[in-house]
C-alpha cells in the first residue's frame, strides 16, 4: 500500500514541476474531448502530498517509521483512507467510477480498466489490513 501511494504521489508531484506523463489521460472529458476538470499545479500538489502522506501513514502503522501517534488517529486513518478510495471507485455516476455513464473517452476507458479497479483494490486491501490489525 505504501509503495502504491508513493508512486501515485510522485506522479502527481511530477505534474507540479511540469511533467506530462499520464496527465491528459488522467482527466475526465466529455465525449467532445472537453475536459471536465482543469486542475492547477496547486491542485496536483495537494493530491500528490496527500498520497505521499498516505504512504507514510501505512509505514507508521506497520512500525517501519517510529512516530508516536495516538491509537485513535491510526484507527481513524485506517478507515478514512480506504473509504476515500472505495467512494472514488464508485464515482460520481457521470464521468468517474464504475457506474459512470461516459465510458468511451480515453479517460473513461482507462478509468474502467485501471483507475477504478485500482481504487477499489486500495480500498479493499486497506479495510482488510485494518480488520487484521
pLDDT value at residue 68: 87
Given this model, what pLDDT does residue 93 score? 96
C-alpha cell belonging to residue 104: 468511451
Name the residue among 27, 75, 16, 90 with its Cα closest to residue 50. 16
pLDDT tens sequence across 84-124: 999 999 999 999 999 999 999 999 999 999 999 999 999 99
For the chain, the distance separating the N- and C-terminal CA atoms, rounded to the nearest angstrom, is: 15
pLDDT of residue 130: 95
Task: Judge whether residue 82 has pLDDT over 90.
Answer: yes
Q: pLDDT tens, 17-76?
A: 999 999 999 999 999 999 999 999 999 999 999 999 999 999 999 999 999 889 999 999
pLDDT value at residue 71 = 92
Burial class (CB in 10 A: 0-12, 13-18, 19+), 17: exposed
Residue 110 makes CB contacts below 8 A (sequence gap 6+) with 25, 26
Over 90: is that where the pLDDT of 133 sits? no
Amino acid at each position: 500500500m505504501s509503495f502504491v501511494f508513493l508512486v501515485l504521489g510522485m506522479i502527481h508531484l511530477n505534474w507540479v514541476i511540469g511533467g506530462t506523463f499520464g496527465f491528459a489521460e488522467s482527466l475526465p472529458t466529455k465525449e467532445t474531448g472537453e475536459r471536465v476538470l482543469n486542475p492547477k499545479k496547486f491542485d496536483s500538489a495537494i493530491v500528490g502530498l496527500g498520497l505521499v502522506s498516505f504512504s507514510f501513514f501505512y509505514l507508521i502503522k506497520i512500525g517501519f517509521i517510529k512516530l508516536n501517534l495516538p491509537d485513535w488517529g491510526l484507527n481513524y486513518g485506517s478507515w478514512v483512507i480506504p473509504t476515500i478510495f472505495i467512494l472514488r471507485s464508485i464515482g460520481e455516476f457521470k464521468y468517474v467510477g464504475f457506474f459512470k455513464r461516459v465510458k468511451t473517452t480515453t479517460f473513461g476507458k482507462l478509468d474502467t480498466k485501471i483507475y477504478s479497479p485500482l481504487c477499489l483494490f486500495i480500498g479493499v486491501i486497506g479495510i482488510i489490513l485494518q480488520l487484521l490489525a
